[in-house]
Structure 1
């Protein structure tokens, strides 16, 4: 059975959503053919041009939408000079047209079931009418229960969201953090939810991993600071660039591709003043390998960075972003509670604290073998179950349609129906209700 899959991410801030979907595409391309006996390919729908620069498995491609980003009043165009509602409608029509032509067997939306300002809601309705299996993929932590509840209500309520989905995949270990129990997932969605384990082992490298490109990895031993996309990492970068390194250690600081140029220039100046052993770069393809080979890492608490850290035994100090959402602090505290990382309050963190952390942690390693990190191996099996159920449902619908057509075409029977007092067959009676 050949399978076509589409994945969506809105990407208004950062590239975490697109990176998660890209990891899923590689996992599905690698594992699903063995389960279905056919080819697997598809389309990744993204909202940031940087997403489309990363390679995909053979038979997959990107559809990059005109960008939208957060503004003071909600969402607005990233570049196009047009009304936000008009751009939302353009994006929605583009997605719908692409998926109508592609006719995917499986559709996965990352984090936001209806996209930006509801752009995905009519698309989901059309997909379900065509028999496409629909999935909402979620980070293990959404936000505080109060905020999460308000967000579901703003979408029309959890029951309405659930009516357009076949499954919810939660990308985490429910023994570490379970949004079904915290209240972040209401009952209607919790009933559809399956924890996959963290999407940690088997994540693909990025676009820079190509012949002729050398890794920025310093000679060992080295400590590492990695800040995800970088749009909100400048405060941590300042502290790490100013910290005192353990003797004999190099320091690689990866700002992230979305940190503003003026901020990167400031970080480079701070690093040069503090130590000649610090190298500041914007991005690197082999971040998982860099984390694995580092003796210690300072990072923020975004899902993808944490997943890359969790796949290693490198000690990690997590400095979570605390503005706008409580996702990162809640994740950091949950992982610290099971001994997977250490965390600190970003409001009180100093360069001296980072120095002390590095000096203390560079001679240790962290055992994370008690945490489920195999989500990328599980998603193919979950996809196969949905595809099988969808095929069975389609076959049943087809049989029912043929039966109805045959019945309507047959001559009307002259036999009178039995009286109402005739007892129902006992097998039927047992299954009523």
Structure 2
């Protein structure tokens, strides 16, 4: 390993969502905060990646975008080339970047073998200049049988055994036991560390930003509706808008809907048109700044990892509406969190004006109650583990840094 500054390289296959980029960016920032003068480079195909890399020392390398059409099925997003040609290009760029950048730590997000095995040539070619290789996983990937089948077919289990020094799970074992659910080999399971949920730090402007949406005074309850990227969130917003008259009749609530940057423009226009006919209801594409959930009385949201983590961190009562598919990830998360009393949820198969109205009124009048709190320390714990082995002078003890 060269004598340059500490370097972290992140591979993040994000597709068309925001979740993986948001999470890996939080980890990169925490890594850089704890190692001043270090560098972090993220390889990803997210079209919004450059908007995440705002910390000094962090940069972004965009790969040609691909889309997952279903388990084991991918296609190119923008290029007219065949998927196989795009995959070959991505594979070569990944391998040359790892060799040229010469990182101390390689953090692979989500897929130990990369999309359709695109990481394997680079991992096999590490040899003498081998960085420490770490896999980072959100706790729930998909239904266990789906993950087992795809990982076995695509060689992910073999890659996990052969190439990885450590696996960081961004979650809690008592919520979801990754090794057991996904049938990990014993040797891989022994290298697994549960970090807790990775969340953004408390934002010092949270109150000010939230106050720009609503004044914090005595008045009607405030319902904030979020969708992350929003690409497939129209059914949730449709049900919310249809429920507004009934909810307002019972509670007088005000509604603020944030569609996300990836919702199709025609859907955004339709939602805004309908909102004009409803009192105290506003639709926006996005909100700038942090702390957007801090002042809501209830947040209605899809059940993506980052949004739910933000909700748990803010302590705002939440109603989760998981997507129907194709992945079982959000359904599983919403069910497990609701069972622990952290959130309310609506079954997406029963989604409609009546069920949504009832759930929103319940969320406003009967906040979730939990006996145990979620572990939200994942950002710090994961960053500390990424720093391990870079150098004793730069890496204080875990017990010292885990604050």
Matched with 1:81 is 80
User: Separation in 1 of the partners of 2:172 and 2:389?
Assistant: 21
Matched with 2:319 is 317
- Measured after TM superposition, the shift of residue 355 of structure 1 is 2.4
Alignment equivalent of 1:283, drawn from 272, 286, 306: 286
**1:258 correspondence with 2:267:** no
User: Separation in 1 of the partners of 2:126 and 2:369?
Assistant: 43
Matched with 1:302 is 304
- Measured after TM superposition, the shift of residue 184 of structure 1 is 5.1
User: Separation in 2 of the partners of 1:94 and 1:204?
Assistant: 36
Matches within 5 A, 1:23-422: 23-31=26-34, 33=35, 39-71=37-69, 74-127=73-126, 129-156=128-155, 158-183=157-182, 185-202=184-201, 217-220=213-216, 221-244=221-244, 245-246=247-248, 247-273=251-277, 275-286=278-289, 289-363=291-365, 366=368, 370-387=373-390
User: Separation in 1 of the partners of 2:183 and 2:338?
Assistant: 20
SS at match of 2:55: coil
SS at match of 1:243: helix
Q: State the Cα deviation string for residues 99-129 of structure 1 (Å, max 9, x = none).
A: 2221010111111122222111112223454
User: Separation in 2 of the partners of 1:266 and 1:127?
Assistant: 51
Q: State the Cα deviation string for residues 288-339 of structure 1 (Å, max 9, x = none).
A: 5121211001111111111111112111111111211111111111111111
Q: How many residues align?
A: 377
- Measured after TM superposition, the shift of residue 360 of structure 1 is 3.1
User: Separation in 2 of the partners of 1:153 and 1:382?
Assistant: 28
SS at match of 1:43: strand
- Measured after TM superposition, the shift of residue 43 of structure 1 is 0.5
TM-score, reference length from structure 1:
0.80
User: Separation in 2 of the partners of 1:335 and 1:97?
Assistant: 41
SS at match of 1:11: coil
- Measured after TM superposition, the shift of residue 364 of structure 1 is 5.6
Q: State the Cα deviation string for residues 185-237 of structure 1 (Å, max 9, x = none).
A: 443432221110000252789xxx9xxx9986234542111011111111101
Larger radius of gyration: 1
User: Separation in 1 of the partners of 2:185 and 2:328?
Assistant: 18
Q: State the Cα deviation string for residues 256-285 of structure 1 (Å, max 9, x = none).
A: 111111111122223223x23111111223
Q: State the Cα deviation string for residues 26-50 of structure 1 (Å, max 9, x = none).
A: 111122x2xxxx6221211110221
- Measured after TM superposition, the shift of residue 133 of structure 1 is 0.6
Root-mean-square deviation (CA, aligned residues, Å) is 2.6
Structure-2 change in CA distance of 1:315 and 1:300 (3 Å)? same
SS at match of 2:263: coil
SS at match of 1:311: helix
Structure-2 change in CA distance of 1:337 and 1:140 (3 Å)? same
User: Separation in 1 of the partners of 2:374 and 2:271?
Assistant: 35
CA contact (8 A) 1:233 1:259 kept: yes
SS at match of 2:349: coil
Structure-2 change in CA distance of 1:81 and 1:183 (3 Å)? closer
CA contact (8 A) 2:303 2:323 kept: yes
- Measured after TM superposition, the shift of residue 157 of structure 1 is 5.3
Structure-2 change in CA distance of 1:110 and 1:223 (3 Å)? same
Structure-2 change in CA distance of 1:9 and 1:344 (3 Å)? same
Structure-2 change in CA distance of 1:201 and 1:54 (3 Å)? closer
User: Separation in 2 of the partners of 1:90 and 1:185?
Assistant: 31
